[in-house]
Amino acid sequence: MTKESSDFQRTRNISTLAAYLDSFMENPESTSFPRRKCCGTSRSLYCPQCCELLIEKYRWPLPLQRGNLDLPFALDIILSDNRQQATGFHAYVLLKASHGSVYCSNSNSIKENGERKDENKAATTTTTSSSSLQKVRLFDTKNGRDAPCYYDDDDNTFVLFPSEKSVPLSSVSDTIKRLVVLDCKWTKSAGEQRSPSIDNLPQVHLDNPPLESFFWRWHNAGQGMCSTLEAIYFAALEVLQMKTKGDDKFEESSRDALIHLMWLFGIIRAATVSTAARNGKPLPFT
């Protein structure tokens, strides 16, 4: 891909996402939801304990209602952040809502009726297995669970981690089966972000990372840094664009469904903007 076409693709992807996220701020009703009780407390969007989406289904985006929100690869989220702050957790919640728990597994034991239980005991294994049927897996290391151990023979599994050793995601778009992402704070050093369990995995980076993030969490890491959810979204978009090259109709329909992976992100971002404006404070992402 030439620099000109790469810049065009980045601009196109960013402008599409910007328009989608701005639409939440233009329609306040789209970000207002009643609180619902779940796991001993009440919340308005999702339950961080059982990972259920709490918004009434009729208000979900249509691709989410129809089970059409999907990724072009399986996904492992290694979480080392608070579930209520981690954006990668949004992907897990939305994909579980769209496809059900058979599609997703949560390796962290959760509370239900005052007792702890495993949502999926098979997912608590510390090694990966080709027999694993779950397309999206959550490993909550923040709550004491271990990340899976990946081996050299874990064919077509890659970790999204920009480094001197990483290769462009587009170069493996035909072979990638599972993408591993690390959901942690930007303030962690590169060494702290890395986990020994993923050392054997080949590393990839986005071909066209956004120069600026739409995330509201402060950081001083410079340009090209984005939230985990944005990274997942752009990674899926890049793989889709490579796999559907020449089929504009299929790419457009897949893109239209995929953008709703940012739905919860857009709702929270709009609420953050509203709160900042109401308190006379600058926007957190300016």
Burial classification of residue 247, based on how many CB atoms lie within 10 Å of its CB (0-12 exposed, 13-18 middle, 19 or more buried)? exposed
pLDDT of residue 197: 74
* Sole residue written with tokens 């608070």: 82
- The tens-digit pLDDT sequence of the chain (286 residues) is 565 566 667 777 888 999 999 999 888 778 889 999 999 999 999 999 999 999 999 999 999 999 999 999 999 999 998 999 999 999 999 999 999 877 787 765 444 343 434 444 333 333 444 334 579 999 999 888 888 888 766 779 999 999 899 999 999 999 999 999 999 875 554 454 556 778 889 999 999 888 888 887 655 555 657 899 999 999 999 999 888 776 666 567 788 899 999 999 999 999 988 888 888 887 766 5
What's the pLDDT at 132? Answer: 44
The beta-strand segments (E) located in the chain are 36-38, 41-43, 74-79, 104-106, 110-112, 115-117, 136-140, 157-160, 167-168, 178-183, 203-205
CA 216 to chain centre: 15
Q: Which has the closest alpha carbon to 21: 267, 213, 266?
A: 266
CA 85, 91, 97, 100 torsion: positive or negative?
negative
Distances (CA, A) of 178 to 2, 114, 200: 27, 34, 14
Helix (H) or strand (E) segment spanning residue 94? helix 88-99
pTM of the model: 0.85
- At 21-64, the pLDDT tens digits run 999 988 877 888 999 999 999 999 999 999 999 999 999 999 99
pLDDT score for 273: 86
Residue 167: per-residue pLDDT:
96
Q: Tell me what pLDDT residue 4 has.
A: 58
What is the pLDDT at residue 144?
Answer: 81
188-197 pLDDT per residue, tens: 544 545 567 7
